[in-house]
């Protein structure tokens, strides 16, 4: 029998699928985090999602050095080091997740596993009753969702075929063509603008502000976009920069802005990836952003702290 969706077997690289999300759009949602990002924000709370290839996080504090992961990996991607811990060769890993399953201590987390659209939708559909009762749905996030544009559009089509509310979290760094293909299938765009100065944005994150703003203009008139500003002390958290981002939102006909307070919840992941975490400041309290929210409201925007 033919599948109802001819692309159901299309594969994507997935960081994780999180059920019962409350911060990625309205109501109770399932958030599908896709692997790969064109930016390299140094405060990223999901650094394992940045490369397109599979990434292993190893939690040394949980590892007993039993070696079960080493013997389970058929690709020779794990060796047992002289220090008694497993060592990963990222060039050999295919993201099968076997080592993660073999570990008795949950000391390994694989990001970038391959999943088909059918497998993803199988999980998404489990909570349809919760979506219906709470006004929720499915959110596609990342990484950056448009790094896998064909898979993203297919997931959106499959979600709409199930009657689900759909949201996308994006940094906006994609082609106008893919954005316009996704737009009719998407009810809400949570659209990050991280800086108002193109050189600073480019230098720190690799983002192209010109392209990001042009893309937002395509969405603004549709009334589907909320601009989100991750507020990062020492990067963008000053009056001139936040005011500049508010102006960009207004230019693009977007009225709603969410200010996201900096948090350091992803800091441990950097150690698990043997990477340095560049931000050492404390997580922010919502109240610290109130003066910025007031500034935006005075400019005619609807500003919320948190998202
Ligand atoms: S995910 Fe698969 S290929 Fe990669 S290290 Fe684990 S077992 Fe080996
Ligand atoms: S299976 Fe888990 S506990 Fe055992 S060596 Fe590997 S990571 Fe450590």
Residue 4 lies in a domain: no
Verify that 175 and 263 share a domain, yes or no.
Answer: yes
Verify that 90 and 176 share a domain, yes or no.
Answer: no
- Based on the number of CB atoms within 10 Å of its own CB, is 45 exposed (0-12), middle (13-18) or buried (19 or more)? middle
Verify that 129 and 277 share a domain, yes or no.
Answer: yes
Tell me which residue has its CA closest to atom 3 in ligand 2.
63
Which pLDDT tens digit goes with each residue over 106-147? 999 999 999 999 999 999 999 999 999 999 999 999 999 999
Verify that 202 and 79 share a domain, yes or no.
Answer: no
248 Cβ closer than 6 Å to some ligand 1 atom: no
Verify that 167 and 205 share a domain, yes or no.
Answer: yes
| Percent of the chain predicted with pLDDT > 90 | 87
Number of domains in the chain: 2
Residue 45 lies in a domain: yes
Atom of ligand 2 at shortest range from CA of 58: 7
Residue 221 lies in a domain: yes
Atom of ligand 1 at shortest range from CA of 97: 1
| Chain mean pLDDT for the chain | 94
pLDDT value of residue 90 = 84
CA of 88 to the centre of ligand 1 (A): 9
Which pLDDT tens digit goes with each residue over 284-293? 999 999 999 9
Verify that 140 and 237 share a domain, yes or no.
Answer: yes
Of 66, 90, 109, which one is at a domain's C-terminal end?
A: 109
Residue 78 lies in a domain: yes
Atom of ligand 1 at shortest range from CA of 92: 3
**Is the model's pLDDT at 2 over the cut of 50?**
no
Residue 86: domain span: 55-109
CATH number, domain with residue 102? 3.30.70.20
CATH number, domain with residue 295? 3.20.20.70
Q: With bands split at pLDDT 50, 70 and 90, how would you rate the model's confidence at 279?
A: confident
Residue 227 lies in a domain: yes
Which pLDDT tens digit goes with each residue over 187-225? 999 999 999 999 999 999 999 999 999 999 999 989 999
67 Cβ closer than 6 Å to some ligand 2 atom: yes
Which residue from 287, 301, 285 is spatially nearest to 248, judged by alpha carbons?
A: 301
**Is the model's pLDDT at 3 over the cut of 60?**
no
pLDDT value of residue 303 = 98
Residue 212 lies in a domain: yes
Which residue from 221, 241, 216, 217 is spatially nearest to 231, judged by alpha carbons?
A: 241
CA of 108 to the centre of ligand 1 (A): 10
Which residue from 58, 72, 86, 93 has its CB within 8 A of the most atoms of ligand 2, so it is best to mutate? Answer: 86
Q: Which residues pair with 80 in a beta bridge?
A: 86
Which pLDDT tens digit goes with each residue over 20-78? 999 899 999 999 999 999 999 999 999 999 999 999 999 999 999 999 999 999 999 99
**Is the model's pLDDT at 6 over the cut of 80?**
no
CA-angle at 232, arms to 139 and 193, nearest 5°: 50
pLDDT value of residue 278 = 84
Verify that 66 and 145 share a domain, yes or no.
Answer: no
pLDDT value of residue 266 = 85
Verify that 170 and 266 share a domain, yes or no.
Answer: yes
Verify that 30 and 176 share a domain, yes or no.
Answer: yes
pLDDT value of residue 244 = 98
**Is the model's pLDDT at 1 over the cut of 50?**
no
Question: Is the distance from CB of 214 to CB of 251 less than 8 angstroms?
Answer: no
State the Cα–Cα distance between residues 300 and 196, nearest whole angstrom. Answer: 18
State the Cα–Cα distance between residues 77 and 65, nearest whole angstrom. Answer: 16
Verify that 301 and 176 share a domain, yes or no.
Answer: yes
**Is the model's pLDDT at 12 over the cut of 60?**
yes
Residue 43 lies in a domain: yes
107 Cβ closer than 6 Å to some ligand 2 atom: yes
pLDDT value of residue 281 = 80
- Supply 278's token pair: 């560049």
DSSP secondary structure string, the chain?
A: ---SSTTTT-EEEEEEEEEEESSSSSSSEEEEEES--S---TT-S-GGGSSSS-EEEE-GGG-----HHHHH-TTS-EEE-TTSSEEE-TTT-----HHHHH-TT--EEEESEEEEHHHHHHHHGGGHHHHHHHT-EEEEESS-GGGSHHHHHHHHHHHHHTT-EEEEEE---S-HHHHHHHGGG-SEEEEE---S-HHHHHHHH---HHHHHHHHHHHHTTT-EEEEEEE-TTTT-SHHHHHHHHHHHHHTT--EEEEEE---TTHHHHHHTT------SPPPPGGGGHHHHHHHHHTT-EEEE--
Residue 3 lies in a domain: no
Verify that 259 and 132 share a domain, yes or no.
Answer: yes
Verify that 156 and 300 share a domain, yes or no.
Answer: yes
pLDDT value of residue 4 = 55
**Is the model's pLDDT at 176 over the cut of 90?**
yes
Tell me which residue has its CA closest to atom 4 in ligand 2.
66
56 Cβ closer than 6 Å to some ligand 2 atom: no
């Amino acid at each position: 029998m033919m599948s109802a969706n001819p692309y159901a077997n299309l594969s994507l690289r997935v960081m994780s699928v999180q059920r019962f999300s409350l911060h990625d759009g309205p109501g109770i949602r399932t958030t599908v985090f896709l692997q790969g990002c064109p930016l390299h924000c140094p405060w990223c709370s999901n650094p394992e999602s940045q490369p397109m290839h599979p990434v292993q996080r190893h939690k040394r504090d949980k590892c007993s050095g039993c070696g079960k992961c080493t013997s389970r990996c058929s690709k020779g991607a794990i060796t047992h080091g002289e220090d008694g811990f497993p060592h990963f060769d990222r060039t050999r890993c295919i993201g099968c997740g076997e080592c993660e399953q073999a570990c008795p201590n949950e000391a390994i987390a694989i990001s970038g596993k391959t999943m088909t659209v059918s497998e993803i939708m199988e999980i998404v559909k489990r909570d349809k009753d919760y979506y219906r009762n709470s006004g929720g749905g499915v959110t596609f996030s990342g990484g950056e969702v448009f790094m896998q544009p064909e898979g993203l559009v297919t997931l959106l089509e499959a979600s709409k075929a199930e009657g689900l509310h759909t949201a996308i979290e994006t940094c906006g760094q994609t082609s106008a063509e893919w954005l316009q293909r996704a737009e009719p299938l998407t009810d809400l765009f949570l659209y990050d603008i991280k800086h108002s100065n193109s050189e600073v944005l480019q230098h720190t994150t690799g983002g192209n502000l010109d392209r990001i703003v042009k893309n937002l203009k395509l969405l603004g008139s549709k009334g589907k976009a909320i601009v989100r500003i991750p507020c990062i002390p020492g990067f963008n958290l000053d009056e001139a920069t936040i005011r500049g981002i508010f102006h960009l939102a207004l230019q693009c006909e977007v009225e709603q802005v969410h200010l996201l307070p900096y948090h350091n919840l992803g800091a441990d992941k950097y150690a698990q990836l043997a990477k340095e975490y560049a931000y050492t400041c404390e997580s922010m309290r919502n109240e610290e952003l109130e003066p910025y929210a007031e500034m935006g409201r005075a400019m005619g925007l609807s500003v919320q702290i948190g998202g």
